[in-house]
Amino acid sequence: MISTARVPADKPVRIAFSLNDASDDTPPEDSIPLVFPELEQQLQPLPPCHDSAESMQVFKQHCQIAEEYHEVKREIALLEERKKELIAKLDQAEKEKVDAAQLVREFEALTEENRTLKLAQSQCVEQLEKLRIQYQKRQGSS
């Protein structure tokens, strides 16, 4: 008799077999229990013919393949999750790179504006000094 149990997707699935465990109360073919509930119906191992060692062997192999399939699906899910995390990190890094480039451009623009303002200030100081000298000359000549 085959018993089934629901197992979380992140837990490994182990199956035990016994060739001597044949019972007369085998369920009919249309009520096949799901050995691997997460597998699609067409991928489920079919119950073996308990009188045939070859059938039991095929069933064991099918269950091993189903277990490997389950493990691969779990790994794929983990890798997909990791992929999403890496894409998010990459997006964040690219955004920070764009932000840094924008900050560099702003810094360069402000540096140029600062240079221009300092030049204008020094020109104004010179002009003010010339005006003071002219004013003092007018005051002295009157």
- Average pLDDT of the residues of the chain: 82
CA distances from 16 to 39, 56, 125 (A): 18, 12, 95
Looking at residue 17, its pLDDT comes to: 53
pTM of the model: 0.49
Q: Domains of the chain: which residue ranges?
A: 53-140
pLDDT value at 31 more than 50: no
pLDDT tens readout for residues 32-77: 456 677 778 888 888 888 899 999 999 999 889 988 988 999 999 9
Instruction: Indicate the residue type of 76.
Output: I
